Amino acid sequence: MRMFSAIKTLIIISLTLVLQSCKKEDALTSSGVKVINPSGDENYLNIGSEYIFDQSKLHTFEINLPEGALNYLDKDPTLEEYVEASLRFDGETISPVKIRYKGSIGAWIDGVSGEDWGNPSGKKTATKLSLKINFNWNENSRKFYGLNKLQLHSLNNDPSQMRERLGYWLYRQMGVPAPRAVHAQVIINGKYYGVYALVEQIDDAFAAHNFADGSGNVYKEVWPLNDYGEALEACDFLRNLKTNTSGIPNAKLITDFAEEIEASETDENLKVKIEQYMDIDKVLAYAVVDYTIRNDDGAFHWYCEKEGCGNHNFYWVEEPSSGKIHLIPWDLDHAFDNIIKEMNPVTPIADGWGEKSNNCSAFPYGDWDIYQKSAACDKLIGGWALYSEKFNELKTNFLNGPLAFSESDSKIEEWANQIRNATEEAARNHNDAVSIREWESAMEILKAQLAHARTQ
């Protein structure tokens, strides 16, 4: 009996060792990233997004991933494929997370080795590229300070390192539901990469933070009317739906809006329908900020090709309980460029607010003669332009309020002090980082652009 008891004890010990071994193996993902199961007491699970976007803080995000995974990302960043990693933040580690590079055609210039800027490809050549960190995939419902994702923009096209943060701040000061933005530092596998703009993702978390009813659909870069003034169909909107995609998606609110705008036969009827579906003060405030800071690569630049004309860099968010639809600005890396002089050969908009050129046909403009169409030729934007008195009132409020020297310039100084040491460290470590002299000069240029904008 004692022998069987000893054997039984050995079996139990061996099974325990096997289970511990299995548990240890299960603690790594297939790519070798540690799996950390949270206890539920972590700050990132119990504090809201206001902590991440606290304007008084310069947060640091430490990303760790297997060297093979980093090499895979660096081989061709334009693929924008996710790999597994872990994130260390404020003494807590979240693992696994998913990480990838992100960008548009302009963002990849001088960042990858491919020679065709219009079709970017190739290995990573810049120290910094924009990053996306995903905490919530496969419907795991995991949040990081109430957020699904972090978007860290490289600022490679902005030596002032201020445009995105300042631009979104200006929209929000005017009551526009725009993304929040702050600066942040990034470390990858122990290497300091520099200063980024941390810009809020426009998704269900954004909708919940900005609206009393955050359950509405979020759409990216789909305009209610096509180039011929015809309302888009539900399937067109659903192809661009970014939230509420499970089950049977419903695009009725924005589809009804588009059809009502198309059907409006008089200016007065058009205004009635706009006010039924939109907060007119908010959308006009959007237009005031957009035109004043020359966000010329946004919703009011209608680029034209053989297939027709269209715009980009915007979102729509529905608010079902009020029946309202909100326009959200996006991608401000070229804002402010063209205030004093049209510096960018691609983005300048020819017309002022509400103006129409060339009988609403496409026309070439800018140093590269890129074709565009007047935004006011679109029936919806033309309807907004009918509110000229309200637009001028809001513009006066903007010039004397958020854009005033005492407000916007002081913000630039405040944020510059916040990131100065980080900018100096990046300049010491990386040959392609902005130098302190270049950075300070770019900020002075930005201040001059703001001063000029106040006179327009």
Kindly tell me if the per-residue pLDDT of 16 is higher than 60.
Answer: no
What is the rounded average pLDDT of the residues 355-378? 98
Q: Given this model, what pLDDT does residue 139 score?
A: 65
| Banded model confidence at residue 115, pLDDT cuts 50, 70, 90 | confident
Instruction: Tell me the average pLDDT of the chain.
Output: 93
Kindly tell me if the per-residue pLDDT of 13 is higher than 60.
Answer: no
The winner for highest mean pLDDT among 10-24, 59-73, 99-113 is 59-73
Residue 400, judged by CB atoms within 10 A of its CB (0-12, 13-18, 19+), counts as exposed
- Count of Cβ atoms closer than 10 Å to residue 334 Cβ: 22
Q: How far apart are CA 312 and CA 326, in angstroms?
A: 15
Kindly tell me if the per-residue pLDDT of 14 is higher than 90.
Answer: no
- Pick from 52, 62, 135: nearest CA to 97: 135
Q: How far apart are CA 214 and CA 318, in angstroms?
A: 8
Q: Given this model, what pLDDT does residue 25 score?
A: 44
Secondary structure class of 288 (helix, strand, coil): helix
Instruction: Tell me which of 110-114, 146-150, 165-169, 433-437 is least confident.
Output: 110-114
Residue 413, judged by CB atoms within 10 A of its CB (0-12, 13-18, 19+), counts as exposed
- Would you give the distance in Å from CA 128 to the centre of its chain? 17
| Banded model confidence at residue 137, pLDDT cuts 50, 70, 90 | confident
What is the rounded average pLDDT of the residues 81-99? 97
What is the rounded average pLDDT of the residues 362-389? 98
What is the rounded average pLDDT of the residues 426-431? 98
Find out whether 444 and 159 touch, Cβ atoms under 8 Å.
no
Q: Given this model, what pLDDT does residue 259 score?
A: 99
Instruction: Tell me which of 135-149, 265-279, 321-335, 345-359 is least confident.
Output: 135-149
Phi, psi of 299 (to 5 degrees): -65, -20
What is the rounded average pLDDT of the residues 279-290? 99
Q: Given this model, what pLDDT does residue 24 score?
A: 42
Q: How far apart are CA 32 and CA 235, in angstroms?
A: 41
- Half-sphere exposure of residue 332, counting CA atoms within 13 Å on the CB side? 30
Q: Given this model, what pLDDT does residue 10 score?
A: 39
What is the rounded average pLDDT of the residues 249-277? 98
Strand ranges inside 65-145, DSSP E: 83-89, 92-101, 131-134
Instruction: Tell me which of 22-26, 69-73, 226-230, 277-281 is least confident.
Output: 22-26
Tell me which DSSP letter residue 203 carries: S
What is the rounded average pLDDT of the residues 215-239? 97
- Half-sphere exposure of residue 347, counting CA atoms within 13 Å on the CB side? 25
What is the rounded average pLDDT of the residues 110-120? 84
- Would you give the distance in Å from CA 377 to the centre of its chain? 27
Q: How far apart are CA 193 and CA 422, in angstroms?
A: 10
Q: Given this model, what pLDDT does residue 106 score?
A: 76
What are 185-210's pLDDT values in tens digits? 999 999 999 999 999 999 999 999 99
Q: Given this model, what pLDDT does residue 4 score?
A: 36
From residue 131, alpha-carbon distances to 57, 103, 134, 290 in Å are: 20, 8, 10, 25
Q: What is the pTM of this model?
A: 0.92
Query: 444-451: long-range contacts at Cβ-Cβ below 8 A with a sequence spacing of 24 or more?
Result: 445/160, 446/160, 446/162, 446/163, 446/166, 446/336, 446/412, 447/409, 447/412, 448/340, 449/336, 449/339, 449/340, 450/336, 450/339, 450/403, 450/405, 450/408, 450/409, 451/405
Residue 82's contacts (CB-CB under 8 Å, 6 or more residues apart) are: 98, 99, 100, 134, 137
- Half-sphere exposure of residue 63, counting CA atoms within 13 Å on the CB side? 28
| Banded model confidence at residue 7, pLDDT cuts 50, 70, 90 | very low
Kindly tell me if the per-residue pLDDT of 12 is higher than 60.
Answer: no
Q: Given this model, what pLDDT does residue 357 score?
A: 98
Kindly tell me if the per-residue pLDDT of 18 is higher than 60.
Answer: no
- Percent with pLDDT over 70 in the chain: 94
Q: Token pair of 113, please?
A: 């080795």
